[in-house]
């Protein structure tokens, strides 16, 4: 058992000793690719989404220096009839080379990292196989091991993109190292039964082509059949909440929001921390891996300030993910910034609509904190105006509320597309985008005899009243208030116990003197 060659199963043993969600089906997908043209796999996902857990599980399963049967005997990979044959065939049958690139960067100077990897792995190979003759190049040495043992390698690289993200100076040398191992199909097929890389970013592009194009990529934008292994599925989170006597509804509100290939996916680290700590909070701590959210949303591209406001208001924004250079340096436009934020997990991506949004309460907190620190005049203005709008709403200043909604409409929305209540809702959400300081937002909340367009429910310990907002297009705002009362919409807040404001907002396409006009009516009602 070594540091880089056959690291054993102790890492996965520790994972199994804790609260555990069975993700062993991932092994079956790798098994299916062994000794096929699909043998090179790169799975990229955001930080805190279980990348290292997956790598340690694969090490424990393939490593021929240990017996891991007891670790897997109760998991789906060994109990599911569809996976069982492959499970037995490949369990503990390979020499495994395991590289944790983040760990390596902390051990050795950047300029020496590639030589350190080659020397360290070669040294452990010589210890394992005393008759081994080392060759001129690293790949030739690996090939000789295969000739000596009759067994190919499984290579696992955790955080493969860490040098790309954090040490640009060695980027080209590092990519050359990977090309040497994985670019030549003749050599690669002889040495590796399979290779599995995991990281945050997709494979770095070299000009218009991938630097190591033989890898099959499964990204957060297009995870395909790896989707259910990117994070926790809703069924898995429900099961955890049931086992730990935790409120699933709050768990969903805080940590859901990513949908991959139609599968709702949760941030595994956040879910586990919430269960362990018995507290719903943001566990999205800053790391050097993702740098600072502020650094990216502060980039001076047209529309970034408006886009940040739309995202905070709960609006999904269009994004073109093609052409992103897959690094943290080369940005051409707003789309590249948004694409990076998707890969980092700050945004959720809907492949069907080609849009991105803030996925949940945890990330919305990070965005709200960050936007208030961005030193750009247009961003500061938007924050101040939204704060003022909330103040005016709470204090019943209906004329000021209507005027600000009208201003946002005039500045941000094309008249051509502003033609129904759905469009009006987008404008209202954009106007109230700084609600995060005081409220939790719900849309189309079922209540009484219908659905409430928007509800802003005060956070715990907040002294502001709840807002029940109904929207009307080409109708009077007073009619919206009437609909709230007649439809018994405030019943959605039964048990809330605080003051409720009924807010009717209308857009009249042809108001007085033929002008387009927004109106607002605000009424107070006692707690239910």
CA angle 15, 17, 22 (to 5 degrees): 60
Residue with structure tokens 């004329």? 399
DSSP conformation class of 39: -
Put simply, whether the predicted model's pTM sits higher than 0.85 gets the answer no
- Which of 1-15, 93-107, 175-189, 312-326 has the weakest average pLDDT? 175-189
Buried b or exposed e, range 154-167, using 16+ CB within 10 angstroms: bbbbbbbbbbbbbb
Q: Cα 417 from chain centroid?
A: 31
Q: What is the DSSP string of 421-460?
A: HHHHHHHHHHHTGGGGGTEEEEEEEEETTEEEEEEEEEPT
**Tokens for 159?**
């955080």
Rounded Cα–Cα distance for residues 196 and 98 (Å): 10
17: pLDDT strictly greater than 50 = yes
* pLDDT at residue 124 in the model: 95
Amino acid 402: pLDDT: 92
Q: What's the pLDDT score for residue 93?
A: 96
> Is residue 221 within 8 Å of 321, Cβ to Cβ?
yes
Higher-pLDDT residue of 511 and 130 is 130
What are 57-113's pLDDT values in tens digits? 999 999 999 999 999 999 999 998 889 888 999 999 999 999 999 999 988 888 899
What pLDDT score does 96 carry? Answer: 97
Least confident interval from 285-289, 401-405, 458-462: 285-289
- Contact by Cβ (8 Å): 236, 21: yes
Question: How many CB atoms neighbour CB 197 within 10 A?
Answer: 26
- Closest by CA to 504, choosing from 486, 521, 525, 490, is 521
pLDDT band at residue 527 under the 50/70/90 scheme? low
The whole-angstrom separation of Cα 146 and Cα 375 is 58
What share of the chain in percent tops pLDDT 90?
A: 47
User: Average pLDDT of 429-454?
Assistant: 81
pLDDT in tens, 501-512: 999 998 876 655
| pLDDT cut 70: percent of the chain above it | 92
pLDDT value of residue 528: 62
Per-chain mean pLDDT for the chain: 86
10-218 — its CATH code? 3.40.50
Domain regions of the chain by residue span = 10-218, 232-371, 377-525
Q: What per-residue confidence (pLDDT) applies to 479?
A: 85
């Amino acid at each position: 058992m070594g540091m880089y060659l056959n690291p054993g199963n102790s890492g996965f043993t520790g994972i199994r000793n804790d609260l555990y969600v069975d993700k062993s089906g991932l092994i079956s997908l790798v098994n299916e690719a062994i000794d096929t043209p699909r043998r090179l796999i790169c799975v990229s996902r955001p930080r805190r989404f279980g990348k290292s857990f997956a790598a340690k599980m694969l090490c424990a399963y393939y490593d021929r220096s240990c017996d891991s049967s007891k670790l897997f005997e109760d998991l789906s990979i060994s109990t599911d009839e569809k996976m069982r044959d492959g499970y037995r065939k490949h369990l503990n049958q390979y020499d495994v080379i395991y590289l944790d690139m983040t760990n390596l960067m902390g051990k050795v100077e950047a300029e020496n990292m590639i030589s350190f990897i080659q020397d360290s792995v070669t040294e452990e190979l010589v210890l394992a196989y005393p008759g081994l003759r080392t060759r001129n190049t690293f790949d030739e040495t690996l090939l000789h091991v295969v000739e000596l043992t009759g067994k190919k390698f499984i290579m696992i690289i955790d955080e493969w993109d860490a040098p790309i993200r954090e040490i640009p100076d060695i980027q080209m040398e590092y990519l050359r190292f990977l090309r040497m191992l994985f670019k030549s199909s003749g050599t690669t097929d002889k040495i590796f039964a399979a290779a599995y890389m995991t990281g945050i970013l997709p494979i770095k592009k070299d000009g218009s082509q991938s630097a190591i194009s033989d890898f099959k990529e499964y990204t957060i934008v297009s995870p395909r059949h790896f989707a259910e292994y990117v994070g926790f599925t809703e069924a898995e989170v429900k099961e955890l909440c049931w086992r730990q006597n935790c409120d699933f509804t709050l768990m969903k509100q805080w940590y859901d929001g990513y949908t991959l290939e139609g599968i709702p996916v949760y941030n595994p680290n956040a879910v586990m921390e919430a269960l362990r700590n018995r507290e719903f909070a943001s566990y999205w701590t800053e790391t050097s891996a993702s740098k600072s959210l502020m650094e990216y949303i502060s980039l001076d591209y047209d529309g970034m300030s408006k886009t940040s406001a739309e995202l905070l208001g709960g609006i999904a924004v269009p994004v073109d993910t093609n052409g992103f250079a897959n690094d943290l340096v080369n940005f051409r436009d707003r789309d590249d910034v948004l694409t990076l934020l998707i890969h980092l997990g700050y945004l959720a991506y809907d492949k069907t609509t080609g849009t991105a949004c803030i996925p949940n309460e945890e990330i919305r907190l990070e965005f709200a904190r960050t936007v208030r620190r961005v030193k750009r005049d247009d961003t500061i203005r938007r924050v101040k105006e939204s704060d003022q709008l909330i103040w005016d709403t709470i204090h019943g200043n209906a004329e000021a509320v209507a005027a600000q909604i009208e201003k946002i409409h005039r500045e941000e929305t094309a008249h051509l597309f502003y033609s129904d209540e759905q469009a009006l809702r987008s404008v209202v959400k954009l106007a109230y985008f700084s609600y995060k300081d005081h409220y939790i937002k719900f849309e189309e909340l079922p209540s009484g005899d219908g659905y409430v367009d928007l509800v802003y429910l005060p956070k715990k310990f907040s002294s502001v009243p709840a807002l029940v907002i109904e929207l009307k297009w080409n109708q009077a705002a007073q009619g919206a208030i009437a609909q709230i009362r007649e439809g018994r919409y405030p019943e959605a807040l039964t048990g809330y116990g605080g003051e409720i404001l009924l807010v009717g907002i209308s857009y009249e396409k042809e108001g007085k003197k033929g002008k387009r006009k927004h109106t607002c009516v605000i009424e107070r009602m006692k707690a239910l």
